[in-house]
A and B are shown apart, each in its own frame.
Chain A
Amino acid sequence: MMRSEQEVLPAVEESVNTHAIEISGGKRDGPAVILRDLHKSFGSQIVLDGIDLTVENGETLAVLGRSGTGKSVLLKLIIGLQKPNSGSISIHGQEISTLQLDALNEIRKKMGFLFQQAALYDSLTVEQNVAFPLTRHTNMTEPEQRDRVKELLAEVGMEGNLKKMPSDLSGGMQKRVGLARALALDPGILLLDEPTAGLDPITSGEIDELILKLQAEHAMASIVVTHDLQSAKTIADRLALLHKGKVQIEGSFKQLEESDNAFVAEFLKRDY
């Protein structure tokens, strides 16, 4: 879909989380993520059909949509786990869709990714999981790494679980550890794939609060893929609704509610 066909609501700029931007102090110029005319298909199945999105530094964008509309694929394209068929992906002004692996890995270090099932490494302890990016991408000594891991786990409320294995943790605890690992290199961009999926409402609320707290402290640009409208409403400054491979609408939650788009109305009615 061309950008002109996309319903972009006028008050988007106002909805950006101003608190987060104050913390980042506008250190980085330009948007954190820019997607332009992004297409992705698997065989004959078209998943993304011309996506245009921009995420500013310190802003949180929630990507909503029905199952199978390519929300998770969108995140994997942004972090370079999949290649787009065509279109442009710019991270802090650098086009990544044509980068070689080494250069792409440098960009990946600036991004944190929380996977849907947390994707903690089974064979490693909580401490080793969180230290994984530190051991590979920093020159920290072991005591320094240990201190950093403790600090990160304390941030997500998981201090005292250093030696536990991922299989000993509940779903919510795994998500917290996954968040700590995603934050290990102090990324400028945080990608969250269904952060509250499979969690009870109370734990979901706790994860939402944690994400809000981390956004405020770290001033990251965040893209959250979710089915959970309550969660999206809580943590996102702006929402984008995907349907049939295109962005149907983007704007604040209030603007989505006020939209006369039939699909948007049905989506909000059914899921909220």
Chain B
Amino acid sequence: MNPNVRTPHQWNSLDAGQVAESSPSILIFVWSVLNQFLEWFGNLGLFAWQVMRAAVRRTFEGRELIRQLDEIGSKSLPLVALAGAAIGAVLSLESRSSLVRFGAKSMLPAALVYSIIHETGPIVTGLVVSGRVGAGIGAELGSMKVTEQIDAIEASGVNPYKFLAFTRIVACILMLPLLTLAADFCGVLFGWVAETLVEPVSFLRFINQGFVGTTFSDFLAPTLRTAVFGLIIGMIGCFQGMRTRGGTAGVGFSATSSVVLSSLFVILADVILVKFILVFFS
């Protein structure tokens, strides 16, 4: 028998031996990852505490807040509107074929509006803003950190947690619901455009059918949910940016990690908040 060829039994015994040998290092690796994860959360908690403490101190930083509302809100509007429009058009086209199959074509406007205002609009806005704004905040604050601009702010007797972090986080919290309404509007509008290209229908009729049975609370809870997305995006972007180390490579890492982490936590928060809304608002 060729000594290089192992029988299945030999393979199994080898794997078991390898696992036994490597299990301490796997445990160490798992512990290390868990440790880093807990440390990151701990530092995020401390950062949030610093921001909250800074928030109640004097000097409102109104001018910087307005600048951030413009940066985060107005400048995100075209991208969010485009994403909302695309989702509305695609949902309309995709839903149409399914509804026609079940003889429920007349339900299309209502299904589209319900889907957009309840889930698609908020989550698409959250993810688009976490990509654009999360990366922007992470990279901007990261480069400010490595070029000592944050130290310069602190050295001039200004609290950077207030001037840089608080203003950005508040701007994110305020702008996300407004951007979501814009995405919802564009989604419904381009859903109608897609529908009317296939089978002409007046906009008024589409809207009347779409909003049948829709109440203000249908808008309120999902839209306000995005304020939590704003808190997550602003907080993680600022945290990752202000803890940047290691020059330009560190800035790149901060930008990327801001997007990845804020998108991840937006999705997780969405799952939790949907359940919360279903329990308390339905």
Which chain A residues lie closer than 8 Å to B148 at the CB level?
Answer: 115-117, 119
The interface residues of chain A, by DSSP majority, are classed as mixed
A109 touches B149 (CB 8 A): no
Task: Give the chain A neighbours of B144 by CB distance below 8 A.
Answer: 121-122
Contacts of B156 in A (CB 8 A): 108-109, 113, 132-133, 136-137, 181
Chain B residues positioned under 8 Å from A102 (CB to CB)? 57
Name the interface residues of A130-167: CB closer than 8 Å to any CB of B.
Answer: 132-133, 136-137
Among the listed B57, B59, B157, which residue makes an inter-chain contact with A108, where contact means beta carbons less than 8 Å apart?
A: B157
B163's closest neighbor in chain A, by CB? Answer: A136
Contact with B along A95-126 (1 / 0, CB 8 A): 00000011001101101010111011111000
CA distance A195 to B32 in the complex (A): 43
Across the interface, name the chain B residue whose C-beta is closest to A102: B57
A265 within 8 A of B: no
A81 to B157, CA, bound (A): 10
Q: Is the CB of A122 within 8 A of B159?
A: no
A127 to B129, CA, bound (A): 32
Interface residues on A, range: 20 to 34
Do A76 and B151 contact each other (CB < 8 Å), given the known contacts A102-B57, A122-B144? Answer: yes
Interface presence of A79 (CB below 8 A):
yes
A122–B144 Cα distance when bound, in Å, is 8
Once A121-B149, A122-B143, A122-B149 are accepted as A-B contacts, the answer to whether A113 and B59 lie under 8 Å apart by CB is no
The CB with the most chain A CB atoms within 10 A, among B57, B153, B156, B159, is that of B156
Chain A minimum-CB-distance residue to B63? A135
Is the Cβ of A108 less than 8 Å from the Cβ of B155? yes
Q: Is B264 part of the binding interface, using a Cβ–Cβ cutoff of 8 Å?
A: no
Our count of residue pairs bridging A and B at CB distance below 8 angstroms stands at: 56
Q: Which of B140, B143, B155, B159 contacts A81 (CB 8 A)?
A: B155
Q: Cα distance A181–B59 when bound, in Å?
A: 20
Partner of B154, one of A81, A109, A137: A81
**Which residues of B lie under 8 Å from residue A120 when comparing CB positions?**
149, 152
* Cα distance, A101 to B157, chains bound together (Å): 9
Q: Is B34 an interface residue (CB 8 A)?
A: no
- B123 nearest CB across to chain A (Å): 31
Residue pair B151, A109 in contact (C-beta under 8 Å): no
Q: Contact between B159 and A119 (Cβ–Cβ < 8 Å)?
A: no
The 8 Å CB contact of B152, one of A105, A115, A137, is A115
Which residues from 201 to 257 on chain A have a C-beta closer than 8 Å to any C-beta of chain B? none
A111 — nearest CB in chain B belongs to which residue?
A: B155
B147 at the interface (CB under 8 A from A): yes
Does B14 sit within 8 A of A, measured CB to CB?
A: no
Complex-state Cα separation, A120 to B9, whole angstroms: 68
Contacting pair B155 A113 (CB below 8 A): yes
Nearest CB in chain B: distance from A74 CB, A: 14
Q: How far is the CA of A116 from the CA of B159 in the complex (A)?
A: 21
Q: Is the CB of B143 within 8 A of A137?
A: no
CB distance A136 to B151 under 8 Å?
no
CA distance A136 to B157 in the complex (A): 9
Q: Mark B129-151, 1 if CB is under 8 A from A, else 0.
A: 00000000000100110011101
Among residues of A, the one whose C-beta sits closest to the C-beta of B143 is A122
A191 CB to closest chain B CB, in angstroms? Answer: 8
Q: How far is the CB of A85 from chain B (nearest CB, A)?
A: 20
The interface residues of chain B lying within 8 Å CB-to-CB of A106 are 157
Chain A residues with CB under 8 A of B152: 113, 115, 119-121
Q: Is B158 interfacial (CB 8 A cutoff)?
A: yes
Q: How far is the CB of A222 from chain B (nearest CB, A)?
A: 15
Q: Which A residues are CB-close (under 8 A) to B140?
A: 123
Least CB separation from A101: chain B residue: B159
Contacts of A79 in B (CB 8 A): 155
The answer, among A116, A121, A133, for a CB contact under 8 Å with B157, is: A133
Known: A102-B57, A121-B152. Contact between A137 and B147, CB under 8 A?
Answer: no
Besides A122-B149, A133-B156, 5 other A-B contacts (C-beta < 8 A)? A81-B151, A105-B157, A115-B151, A121-B152, A181-B156
Minimum-distance CB pairs A-B, first 7: A119-B152, A105-B157, A108-B157, A119-B148, A113-B155, A115-B148, A109-B157
Which residues of B line the A interface, CB within 8 A? 57, 59, 140, 143-144, 147-149, 151-159
A-B contact pairs, 6 of them (CB 8 A): A81-B154, A109-B156, A113-B155, A115-B155, A121-B153, A133-B158
